[in-house]
Structures are given as structure tokens and as C-alpha cells.
Amino acid sequence: MPLWNYAQLQSHIKKKSFSSVYGLISEEYFLLEHVINEFKTTLLDSESIEFNYQSFYAGEDNLSQIRKAVEMYPLLHPKRLVVLHQAHQLKERDWDQLTPLLEKPISTTVLIITTEKIDKRKKSYKTLEKNGVLAELKKPFNNQLAPWIETMAKNLNLTIAPEASQILAHLIGNELTQIQQALIKLKCYLDDENHITTHDVLFLVSQSKQENVFDFTKSLGNQDLTTAFFSLNKLQSQGENVLGTLAMTVRHFRILLSLQLEKEKGVPHKVSLPSIFLKDYQSQMRHWSLKKLAHVFLILKQTDRDLKTTGLQNRNLMENLVLKICKV
């Protein structure tokens, strides 16, 4: 069976025709928790969930306990739900202990195994693929974030203005876990209020690491070497993930590329951007021809490869990135 995507899995859950084994692949914690919660609320009821739901973590919990939980008969309900988190931490010999549960699933238990990544060459993947449902939960694209943010806010008993939602998406990107944390932070800030405005997002979220990343990418867009180095040092002192910073930089230059392509073709701009940021991008466009932008993407691709494969210090690689982009 081919890998399902999020939409296919969601449709499957709504039909309530459950398989006995699921493998969920995603690096996005929020998406995994969101899907598991959908399984819980659809498969179990409030009265039986206490007796028939158990979760375990690979590397922390004993595999024999997990097997016993899966093999246990449900109480006051026809089904049990057992979740094994972070299965990427399992060794191949650990998978051997789980193989009987996968090859001969327990009909009264739904077993969900989550993992950040999986090697398709390994026996574990092939066993999961043969005996269960495998789904890869990818982060939504930036132009798909609005309904996600609206739903996440609603689950916190909040509403959010469309422009505020756009700004939040622009500052954070498609990191759903970080968006969720920002919304929780906004809820605490609003106290008894329940509506998030543009002012709230600019005041609260703009003071966070996301705004510092935005300052960094903006300085690169302006080819402002001094400010770029200052912003990079600030991010590194805060412990910002270097691959996350690089991803936001790629996103920034993709927006510039899209705007420049629209300008070259003489078509009205269709890039979805909060109006408060659009002027910044339009101002930065004067620095970037399509030829220069193509060069930047080569620099970004090489930096991504070097960060993942070489032994060079991340700091040095990012400083080289700044120098090269600002000197294009």
C-alpha cells in the first residue's frame, strides 16, 4: 500500500473503519498529536478512554509492557488504542520483538506507531507497509496555513483576525508546534479577551525568536552585511536551530523570487503576504535580478548540504552564507 497523506488519513478516520496497525511518519509534533487525538475521540468514548488508551515512548518504556498493553482485552468497549511514540529510536532487534504484533495484529486493539523518519530499506518498514497503514504527515504549505491557524485558535476558545493570522503565519512559517505555542502565549496575554488582533500578534510574537529570524532574513534581502551579522549572532546566542534559520531564509528568497517573476511578466502580484510586510519585500526587490536570485539559491543549497554532511562548525557555515549572499 502506498504512503497515505494527511487528507487521506483524516478521511479514513472519519469512516471509522479502522485497521489494527498504523505507522505515522512526521517530524511535526503537533500534527502527530492532532491525528492521535482524532483517533482517540473517534475510536473511543469519554467513559472508556481511561481504561482503553495507553501511550508509550521508545527508549523509555519496556517493549514487553507495550506487547502486554496491545494484547490486553478492552474493558467496557470493543476496542483499545495503544500508541508507541518515537519509534525512530528503536534498534532493528527491538523491531523484532514487535514483529509478531504487526504480522498477526490483535483485532481488538488499534496500535499506532509514530516516527520522525523511517528507512524504507529496513525490514521494519516493509513489515509495517505489508500489515498496516502507513501515512506521512507533512507540514502544510504556507498558503494552506490560514484554516490551520483558525482551527488551532478555535480549539483554544479564541478567534483571530484574518490579517493577524497572515502575520502570524509569516513570522513563524509552517511550524505548527511553534504556531500552537504562540497562540497559547497570546491566550495568556489576552486574559479575559478571546479575539486576537493584528496589534496583539505584532506586540507579542514580534518580540520572540521568530521576529529575530525575520530581522535576519530581511537584512539578507537588503544585502546589509553589518545587520545580518548582528542578527545572526543574536540568533545563535538564543540557541536558534540553524536548519530552521536556513529554512526561513530559503522561504524569504522564494517570496522575493515569486514577486520578481510576477514583475518580469507584468502580472498583478498574487503572492499571499500581509500588507504590513509587502512593502519590505518590494523594497528589497531592487537588489535582486533573477540571475542574482538563482545564484542565491545555489548558495543556500550548498549551505544546506554542508550543514548536514561536513564537520565544519555551523557558525562558520552560516557566516559564510551571509558573506556570499551580501556580496552577490
Looking at residue 207, what is its pLDDT?
58
The chain-wide mean pLDDT, for the chain, equals 89
Domain extent, residue 185, equals: 142-206
- Give the torsion through C-alpha atoms of 320, 321, 324, 328, to 10 deg: -170
Judging by beta carbons within 10 Å of its beta carbon (0-12, 13-18, 19+), is residue 317 exposed, middle or buried?
middle
What single-letter DSSP state applies at residue 4?
B
Q: Which residue has the cell 511518519?
A: 25
Which of 20-24, 75-79, 223-227, 313-317 is the least confident region? Answer: 313-317
First to last CA, the chain: 47
Cβ atoms of 207 and 264 within 8 Å: the answer is: no
Check residue 206 and give its pLDDT.
64
For the chain, the farthest-separated pair of C-alpha atoms sits apart, in whole angstroms, at: 68
H helices of 173-208, in order, are: 176-190, 198-204
Are 45 and 97 within one domain? yes
Contacts of 320 (CB under 8 A, 6+ apart): 303
Per-residue pLDDT of 202-258, as tens digits, reads 888 765 555 678 889 999 999 999 999 988 988 888 788 888 889 889 989 999 999
Indicate if 97 and 69 belong to the same structural domain: yes
Looking up residue 21, the CATH number of its domain turns out to be 3.40.50.300
The string of pLDDT tens digits covering residues 100-114 is 999 999 999 999 999
User: Of the residues 206, 229, 251, which one is the last residue of a structural domain?
Assistant: 206
Contact 252, 321 (CB under 8 A): no
Q: Taking the CA atoms of the chain, what radius of gyration do you get in angstroms?
A: 23
pTM: 0.68
Instruction: Indicate the residue among 136, 152, 181 that finishes a domain.
Output: 136
Among left, alpha and beta (phi > 0; psi -120 to 50; other), residue 76 is left
Residue 269 confidence (pLDDT) = 64
Tell me the C-alpha distance between 80 and 55, whole Å: 11
| Residue 1 belongs to a domain | no
Q: 21 and 42 in one domain?
A: yes
Cα of 97 vs its chain's centroid, Å = 30
User: Per residue in 90-143, pLDDT tens?
Assistant: 988 888 889 999 999 999 999 999 999 888 888 888 888 899 999 999 999 888
Instruction: Indicate the pLDDT class of residue 270, thresholds 50, 70 and 90.
Output: low
* CATH code of 178's domain: 1.10.8.60
Whether the CB-CB separation of 168 and 149 falls below 8 Å is answered with yes
Do residues 16 and 97 both lie within one domain?
yes
Contact between 262 and 269 under an 8 Å Cβ cutoff? The reply is yes
> Which distant-in-sequence residues (6+ apart) come within 8 Å of 15 by Cβ?
none
Lowest mean pLDDT among 5-19, 31-45, 162-176, 207-221: 207-221
